């Protein structure tokens, strides 16, 4: 079985007719339905998804086999996965967040700074959260061409040119 990637999570029931509150982790939130069937992490449950509308902090959606509020509420907290090979190919200089996590981070001089813990976006730009043995706390580095000139996924590393004093 190929690597599984979490694309969403169920935040609880929405309404009384079996809809769920769905948090989507895809670039276009409603596109989560395009990856269906979505599965539980262990593969024991599988769902086709129909997004019914956007709601505050997510989507309202129908899942196959879920028809009551109680069934929907019982799924609260369930993370939804798809096989990695179901993702479309990307253009050059485009990356899936999941592919960046755990890559080694080096500066332009070759010094190891740490590893990517996560990729975050708080509105303005993507940020690489970097952790390492020499860091007291994680460092947030803007994921821009200027600060991150090279991403070598095959080589397992990222070359960065961080602003002065960041590390």
> Mind listing the pLDDT tens digit for each residue in 125-143?
889 999 988 888 999 999 9
CATH superfamily of domain region 97-160: PRC-barrel domain (2.30.30.240)
pLDDT above 90 covers a percentage of the chain that reads: 71
Comparing 167 with 68, the larger pLDDT belongs to 68
- 4-86 has which fold? Elongation Factor Tu (Ef-tu); domain 3 (2.40.30)
Q: Helix H segments across 1-154?
A: 69-74, 97-100
> Mind listing the pLDDT tens digit for each residue in 47-86?
999 999 999 989 999 999 999 999 999 999 999 999 988 8
Domain boundaries, the chain: 4-86, 97-160
Q: Helix H segments across the chain?
A: 69-74, 97-100
Q: Which residues contact 111 (CB under 8 A, 6 or more apart)?
A: none
């Amino acid at each position: 079985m190929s690597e599984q990637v979490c694309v969403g999570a169920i935040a609880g029931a929405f309404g009384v007719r079996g809809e769920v509150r769905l948090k989507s982790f895809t670039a276009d939130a409603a596109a989560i339905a395009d990856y269906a069937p979505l599965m539980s992490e262990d593969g024991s449950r599988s769902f086709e998804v129909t997004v019914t509308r956007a709601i505050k902090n997510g989507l309202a959606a129908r899942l196959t086999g879920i028809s009551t509020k109680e069934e929907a509420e019982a799924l609260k907290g369930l993370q939804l996965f798809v096989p990695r090979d179901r993702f479309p190919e990307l253009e050059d200089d485009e990356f899936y967040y999941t592919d960046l996590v755990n890559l080694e981070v080096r500066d332009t001089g070759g010094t190891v700074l740490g590893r990517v813990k996560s990729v975050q976006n708080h509105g303005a730009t993507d940020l690489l959260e970097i952790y390492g043995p020499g860091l007291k706390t994680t460092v947030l580095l803007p994921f821009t061409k200027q600060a991150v000139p090279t991403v070598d996924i095959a080589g397992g590393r990222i070359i960065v040119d961080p602003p002065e004093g960041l590390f």
